[in-house]
């Protein structure tokens, strides 16, 4: 049985057993890696069922273990809004750090990623990278008003994706890719010149070699059409951000346009799989956008943090 056929059968039995869409996608991604490792170790595709197990039997086993994991996951995710509120009000009233205390609400989506036990450590780290990068970017930007060149922290996201690839020279690609933003920051502070941001264009070479920019998978299988759309969107947004940021010095809140990348990924993957759009997955990006737009244009940071309640509220309404 071929790899594609095996994953199709596994997906079919998972859907028949009423697994959630997120659980199905996580399981398929995990078994895609398992199959790839088996093939690399010399296992033929015709021997996959014998080596890994029949898809139907795998699903029967997964049904028993997923229930326990759901309970643990729901417990952590359910507590995260209350923990975030305690941290928020604690830092706000005790230290007066209201401008950065709201970052505690990022614990809510972070807890959802950490509680997913099926993912490999590298996969979890890659999924955490956008939130960690956002947290560092906003903490430095809000505390010291240094939005530029702090925004280069977001390049850690594709850099980690390079390490996940199985190319021979992935470590070299990672070093080259990550050294260019460092070189840009050094140039910005110590050897400034007007077009120093052109240094970052060299990052395209290791990115294309490692297939990071145009790498998008649906249930573990590559979707070339979506890859091209996401890649074009990333390059367009990066160009808009650098050009308008340099011309009008609006690095903040212009960086919000990059939230269109994960939003587009969610919308395109839902359309590709003929499934309903996950409002829970979109809610963090909506909350962040509303928080900053109302805070920036109406000086309402002291109350716009309440938009983050949209995240648990959306999850509660959906689960009910």
| Number of neighbours of residue 232 by Cβ within 10 angstroms | 12
Give the chain's mean pLDDT: 77
Alpha-carbon gap, residue 103 to 250, rounded angstroms: 22
Burial of 320 from C-beta contacts in 10 A (0-12 / 13-18 / 19+): exposed
d(CA 206, CA 202): 8
| Residue 126 confidence (pLDDT) | 75
Give bridge partners of residue 222 from the DSSP assignment.
217
Neighbours of 212 (CB within 10 A): 22
pLDDT at 269 over 70: yes
Helix axes 156-164, 121-144, angle to 10 degrees: 170
The reply to whether omega before 149 is within 30° of 0 (cis) is: yes
Dist CA 173 CA 58 (whole Å): 37
Q: Between 270 and 286, where is the model more confident? A: 286
d(CA 223, CA 84): 37
Question: pLDDT value at position 220?
Answer: 46
The alpha helices in 96-191, defined as continuous H runs, are 98-101, 107-114, 121-144, 156-164, 170-190
In this predicted model, what pLDDT tens digit does every residue of 177-210 receive, in sequence order? 888 888 888 888 888 776 676 777 777 666 665 5
Nearest to 231 by CA among 254, 211, 203: 211
Per-residue pLDDT reduced to its tens digit, 91-135: 888 888 877 787 887 777 777 667 655 556 777 777 778 778 888
Q: Which residue has the higher pLDDT, 272 or 168?
A: 272
Q: Which residues pair with 217 in a beta bridge?
A: 222
CA dihedral 7, 8, 9, 10 (to 10 degrees): 50
Which two tokens mark 204?
């395209």
Structure tokens at 241: 């951000």
> Looking at residue 216, what is its pLDDT?
47
Lowest mean pLDDT among 132-146, 196-210, 259-273, 290-304: 196-210
Range with the poorest average pLDDT among 29-33, 86-90, 124-128, 197-201? 197-201
């Amino acid at each position: 049985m071929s790899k594609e056929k095996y994953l199709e059968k596994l997906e079919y039995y998972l859907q028949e057993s009423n697994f959630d869409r997120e659980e199905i996608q996580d399981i398929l991604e995990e078994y895609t890696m398992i199959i790839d490792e088996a093939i690399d170790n010399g296992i033929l595709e015709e021997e996959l069922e014998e080596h890994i197990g029949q898809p139907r039997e795998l699903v029967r086993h997964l049904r028993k273990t997923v229930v326990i994991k759901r309970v643990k996951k729901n417990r952590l995710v359910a507590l995260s809004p209350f923990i975030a509120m305690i941290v928020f009000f604690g830092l706000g009233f005790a230290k007066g750090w209201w401008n950065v205390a709201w970052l505690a609400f990022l614990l809510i989506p972070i807890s959802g990623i950490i509680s997913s036990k099926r993912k490999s450590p590298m996969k979890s780290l890659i999924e955490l990278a956008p939130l960690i990068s956002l947290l560092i970017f906003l903490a430095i930007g809000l505390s010291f008003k240094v939005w530029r060149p702090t925004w280069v922290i977001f390049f850690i996201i594709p850099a980690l994706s390079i390490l996940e690839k199985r190319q021979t020279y992935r470590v070299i690609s990672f070093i080259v890719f990550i050294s260019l933003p460092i070189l840009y920051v050094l140039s910005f502070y110590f050897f400034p010149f007007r077009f120093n941001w052109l240094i970052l264009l060299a990052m395209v070479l290791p990115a294309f070699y490692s297939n990071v920019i145009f790498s998008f998978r649906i249930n573990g299988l590559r979707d070339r059409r979506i890859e091209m759309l996401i890649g074009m969107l990333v390059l367009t947004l990066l160009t808009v951000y650098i050009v308008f940021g340099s011309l009008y010095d609006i690095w903040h809140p212009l960086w919000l346009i990059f939230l269109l990348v994960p939003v587009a990924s969610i919308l395109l993957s839902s359309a590709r799989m003929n499934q309903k759009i996950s409002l829970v997955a979109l809610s963090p990006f909506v909350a962040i956008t509303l928080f900053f737009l109302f805070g920036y244009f109406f000086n309402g940071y002291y109350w716009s943090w309440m938009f983050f309640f949209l995240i648990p509220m959306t999850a509660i309404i959906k689960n009910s």
